[in-house]
Amino acid sequence: MKTLKGKIRNTFTGIPLLGWLIGALMAVVLEHFFGDVLSDILGLPKIPVLFGFVIMLKKPLLIPGALGYVLLTYLIPVGVIAKVSAPVANRLAEKFFDLSLTLTVLLHLMFIYAILHLWSDVSAYRVLTLKLTLIAIMVTLSLNVVNGYMGEFSCSHPGFMALGAYAASTVTVVLFVNDKLFGPALLTPVLGPFMFPIALIIGGCVAALGALAIAVPSFRTRGDYLAIISLAFMFIVKSMIENLEVVGGPRGLSNQPDVANLPTVFMWTVACIWIINNFVRSTLGKALNAVRDDEMAANSMTVDTRRTKIIAFLFAAFWAGVAGGLFAHVLRYVNPGTFGLQKLAEVLAMVYFGGLNSVYGSIVGAVSLSLLGEALRPLEIFKWIFIPLLLILVMIFRPTGLIAFKEFNVKNLLKPKKRN
Amino acid sequence: MSHDFGGLRAVNNYDLEIEGGQIRGLIGPNGAGKTTIFNLITGIYKPTEGEIILGGKRITGLQPHRVASMGLGRTFQNLQLWRHMTVHEHVKMARYSKITYGLIGAFFGTPKRNREEEEIDKKAYALLEMMGIHHLADQIVINLPYGDQRRVEMARALAMDPKILLLDEPTAGMNPEELIQMMAIIRQVHKELGLAIFLIEHRLKVVMELCEIIQTLDFGRVIAEGTPEEIQNNPKVIDAYLGREALD
Ligand SMILES: Nc1ncnc2c1ncn2[C@@H]1O[C@H](COP(=O)(O)OP(=O)(O)OP(=O)(O)O)[C@@H](O)[C@H]1O
Ligand SMILES: [Mg+2]
Cβ neighbors of A165 (< 8 A, separation 6 or more) are A203, A324, A325, A327, A328, A334, A339
- What pLDDT digit, counting tens, does each position of A300-335 carry? 999 999 999 999 999 999 999 999 999 999 999 999
A89 and A170 housed in the same domain: no
Q: Is residue B87 part of a domain?
A: yes
Number of folded domains in chain A? 2
Q: Check residue B5 and report its DSSP letter.
A: E
**How many domains are there within chain B?**
2
Nearest to A148, CA basis, from A157, A160, A135: A157
Confidence of residue B30 (pLDDT cuts 50, 70, 90): confident
Of B145, B173, B196, at which residue does a domain stop?
B145
Query: Which chain A residue's Cα is nearest to B141?
Result: A293
Other Cβ atoms closer than 10 A to B19? 9
Residues B197, B126, single domain; the answer is no
Q: What percent of chain A has pLDDT over 70?
A: 98
CA–CA distance, B35 with B18 (Å, rounded to integer): 17
The pTM assigned to this predicted structure is 0.92
pLDDT tops 80 at residue A9: no
Question: CB B81 to CB A283 under 8 A?
Answer: no
Q: Domain range spanning residue A18?
A: 4-103
Q: Who's near A63: CB < 8 A, 6+ residues apart? A: A56
Strand partners, B24: B198, B213
Greater confidence, B82 or A220? Answer: B82
pLDDT band for position B242 (50/70/90)?
low
Closest chain B CA to residue A282: B106
Percent of chain A whose pLDDT exceeds 90: 54
Protein residues within 5 Å, CB atom, of ion ligand 2: B 34-35, 77
Number of CB pairs < 8 Å for A and B? Answer: 101
Task: Kindly report, residue by residue over A73-106, the tens digit of the pLDDT.
Answer: 888 888 888 888 888 888 888 888 888 888 999 9
Are residues A187 and A70 part of one domain?
Answer: no
A290 touches chain B (CB under 8 A): yes
Of all atoms in ligand 1, which is nearest to the CA of residue B37? 18
CA distances from A216 to A240, A293, A317, B167 (A): 21, 21, 14, 34
Tell whether A76 and A144 lie within a shared domain: no
Residue A419 has pLDDT above 90, yes or no: no
pLDDT one-digit tens code per residue, A264-307 = 999 999 999 999 999 999 999 999 999 999 999 999 999 999 99
**Residue B87 shares a structural domain with residue B131:** yes
Assess if residue B157 is contained within a domain: no
CATH number, residue A327: 1.10.3470
Domain shared by A207 and A266, yes or no: yes
B153 assigned to some structural domain: no
Q: Are residues B166 and B232 in the same domain?
A: yes
At A370-416, the pLDDT tens digits run 998 888 887 777 777 888 888 888 888 888 888 888 888 888 888 88
- Cα(B24)–Cα(B38) distance, integer angstroms: 13
First to last CA, chain A: 23
Q: Quick one: B101 and B139 in the same domain?
A: yes
* Contact B216 CB / ligand 1 (< 6 Å): no
Q: Whose CA is nearest to atom 26 of ligand 1?
A: B30
The last residue of a domain, from among A57, A73, A103: A103
Same domain, B65 and B105: no
A292, A183 in Cβ contact below 8 A?
no
Distance from CA of B35 to the nearest CA of A (A): 14
Task: List the single best residue of B72, B107, B152 to mutate versus A (max A Cβ within 10 A).
Answer: B107
Residue A419 covered by a domain: no
**pLDDT at residue B244, as a whole number:** 58
Task: Report pLDDT for B247.
Answer: 45
- Which amino acid does the sequence have at B131? M
Do A70 and A195 have their domain in common? no
Residues B167, B91, single domain; the answer is no
Bridge-partner residues for B25, per DSSP?
B199, B214
Mean pLDDT of B148-169: 94
Reduced 3-state DSSP string for chain A: CHHHHHHHHHHHCCCCHHHHHHHHHHHHHHHHHHHHHHHHHCCCCCCCCCCCHHHHHHCHHHHHHHHHHHHHHHHHHHHHHHHHHHHHHHHHHHHHHHHCHHHHHHHHHHHHHHHHHHHHCCCHHHHHHHHHHHHHHHHHHHHHHHHHHCCCCCCCHHHHHHHHHHHHHHHHHHHHCCECCCECCCCCHHHHHHHHHHHHHHHHHHHHHHHHHHHHHHCCCCCCHHHHHHHHHHHHHHHHHHCCHHHCHHHCEECCCCCCCHHHHHHHHHHHHHHHHHHHHCHHHHHHHHHHHCHHHHHHCCCCHHHHHHHHHHHHHHHHHHHHHHHHHHHCEECHHHHCHHHHHHHHHHHHHHCCCCHHHHHHHHHHHHHHHHHCHHHHHHHHHHHHHHHHHHHHHCCCCCCCCCCCCHHHHHCCCCCC
Residue A223 has pLDDT above 80, yes or no: no
Claim to verify: residue A142 and residue A187 sit in the same structural domain: yes
> What is the 8-class DSSP label of residue B243?
I
Does the residue A111 lie in any domain? no
Which residue among B64, B95, B103 places its CB closest to the CB of A300? B64
Instruction: Give me the pLDDT at residue A420, please.
Output: 44
Given a contact cutoff of 8 angstroms between Cβ atoms, the answer to whether B115 and B123 are in contact is no
The answer to whether residue A115 sits within a structural domain is no
Nearest CA to ligand 1 atom 14: B33
Distance from CA of A270 to the nearest CA of B (A): 13
Query: B29 φ, ψ to 5°?
Result: -65, 170
Give the CATH number of the domain where residue B240 resides.
3.40.50.300
CB of A297 less than 8 A from some CB of B: yes
* Contact predicate B224/B237, CB 8 Å: yes
- Domain range for residue B227? 3-71+162-247
Whether ligand 1 lies within 6 angstroms of the CB of B10 is answered as: yes
For residue A203, give the nearest of A315, A326, A331 by alpha carbon. A326
Q: What's chain A's average pLDDT?
A: 89
Sheet holding B23-27, edge to edge: B72-74, B164-168, B196-200, B23-27, B213-218, B221-226
Is the domain of A81 the same as that of A196?
A: no
So what's the ipTM on this one? 0.91
Q: What's CA A233's distance to the chain center, in Å?
A: 23
How many whole angstroms from B248 Cα to the centroid of ligand 2?
Answer: 19
B232, B121: one domain: no
Does one domain contain both B222 and B119?
no
Choosing from B119, B145, B171, the residue where a domain stops is B145
Tell me phi and psi for residue A8, to 5 degrees: -60, -45
Looking at the fold, whether B209 and B181 belong to one and the same domain comes out as yes
Check residue A113 and give its pLDDT. 97
A211 domain residue, yes or no: yes
- Residue A275 located in a structural domain: yes
Residue of B64, B97, B103 lying closest to A311 (CB–CB): B103
- Say yes or no to pLDDT of B71 above 70: yes
Residue A277's closest CA among A363, A354, A357, A359?
Answer: A359
Distances (CA, A) of A381 to A348, A349, A376, A378, A386: 20, 18, 10, 9, 9
B154 in a structural domain? no
Those of residues 12-51 in B touching chain A at CB distance below 8 A are 42, 44
Q: Does A221 touch chain B (CB under 8 A)?
A: no
Of A68, A103, A138, the one marking the end of a domain is A103
Q: Is B12 a domain residue?
A: yes
Does ligand 1 have an atom closer than 6 angstroms to the CB of B207? no
Identify which of B97, B103, B109 has the shortest CB distance to residue A302: B97
Does residue B3 line the site of ligand 1, with CB under 6 A? no
Q: How confident is the model at residue B99 (pLDDT cuts 50, 70, 90)?
A: very high
Amino acid identity at B182? M
CA distance linking residue A282 with residue B92, whole number of Å:
10
Please check whether residue B27 lies inside any domain of the structure: yes
User: How high does pLDDT run on average in chain B?
Assistant: 89
Q: Find chain A residues with C-beta within 8 A of B99's C-beta.
A: 283-284
CA-CA distance, B138 to B140, in Å (whole number)?
7
Residue A170 lies in a domain: yes
Q: Is the CB of B32 under 6 A from ligand 1?
A: yes
Shared-domain flag, residues A322 and A397 = yes
**For residue A403, is it within any domain?**
yes
For the cut 50, the answer to whether the pLDDT of residue B248 exceeds it is no
Mutate to test the interface with B, among A272, A300, A405 (most CBs of B within 10 A): A300
Dihedral sign (CA A332, A207, A322, A377): negative
Query: How many whole angstroms separate alpha carbon A237 and alpha carbon A341?
Result: 12
User: Is the predicted pLDDT of residue A1 greater than 60, yes or no?
Assistant: no
Q: How far apart are CA A265 and CA A113, in angstroms?
A: 11
Residues B65 and B170 both lie in one domain: yes
Q: B173 versus A209: which is more confidently predicted? A: A209
pLDDT at B150: 92
Domain annotation covers residue B152: no
Q: Are residues A150 and A196 in the same domain?
A: yes
B56: three-class secondary structure by DSSP: coil
Residue A420 lies in a domain: no
Q: Are residues B168 and B130 in the same domain?
A: no
Alpha carbon of B66: minimum distance to chain A alpha carbons (Å):
7
Higher per-residue confidence, A113 vs A41 = A113
Residue B132 lies in a domain: yes
Report the percent of chain B where pLDDT is more than 90.
58
Cα-to-centroid distance, B193 and ligand 1 (Å): 31
Q: Could you tell me if the CB of B30 is within 6 A of ligand 1?
A: yes
With a CB cutoff of 8 Å and minimum separation 6, the contacts of B39 are B45
Residues B64, B131: one domain? no
Which residue blocks in B7-49 are alpha helix, DSSP H?
34-41
Rg, chain B, Cα only = 19
Using a CB-CB cut-off of 8 Å, the residues of chain B touching A300 are 42, 44, 64-65, 68, 74, 76
Under an 8 A CB cutoff, do B160 and A278 touch? Answer: no
Atom of ligand 1 nearest to the CA of B220: 14
Mean pLDDT computed over A43-48:
83
